[in-house]
Amino acid sequence: MCKYAFRSFKNPDYKKHLKERFCFGLPQFGQNVRPIHIHLVSVGEANASQILICKLAITYPEKPILITVTTPTGRSRATSLFSSLQQVTIRYLPFDIPVLMERFLSKVSPQISIMLETELWPYFLLFAKRKGIPVVLVNARLSKKSLKGYLKLPKTTKEMITTLDLVLAQYKPDKKRLIRLGCNEQKIKAIGNIKFDLSLPTEQIADAEKIKKALLGRFG
């Protein structure tokens, strides 16, 4: 949270929509309506997600899609790309603080959460696991440098990565490094960059438990 305060001095855009980062102004989807949640950190993830989000919107026109972002530039890019889709709502992901993440996941109650690239949020993953919300890491990549960084905290990293229900890595080296971090080999598959070749099984989105079993079964 301190880094955002620091960034706000350099970039005033970080001060906009600040209440969303503290879990205020959460979207209301209606009783028993569970959205598809997609988290994009910034511009790169927003660009990479175009095929995925458009396919989901076309396949499930009545299903709300909640897109969360981390940076102002990511929000601006996501708005530019997806605001024309009626079922899409764009918000900042709250700070990864226990009380905020517990509230976010309780109120929003996503049917599935899809996170792009390799941005892992410890408390988000913890509460998603507790609430039985399947989490899929898509377009995952991990450089040698990032691997060394994560290996400095092996226990914490393994606890995070083992909560994931499915990991779709970009390429085989990414897959091997993620396995070194503790990812279950039965839960990971290298499918290429989804920006160019998407093969996420969107047809499997029915209900949370079915998604979990179908995704794991298909890519196990």
Rounded CA separation 147/182 (Å): 11
Compute the half-sphere exposure of residue 150: CA atoms within 13 Å on the CB side of its CA. Answer: 23
Which long-range CB contacts under 8 A does 128-134 form with residues at least 24 apart? 128/163, 129/163, 131/105, 131/106, 132/208, 132/209, 133/105, 133/109, 133/208, 134/165, 134/166, 134/208, 134/211, 134/212, 134/215
Select which of 20, 45, 102, 117 is catalytic.
Answer: 45
Q: Is 209 a catalytic residue?
A: no
Cβ neighbours around 22 below 10 Å, total = 15
Active site residues: 45
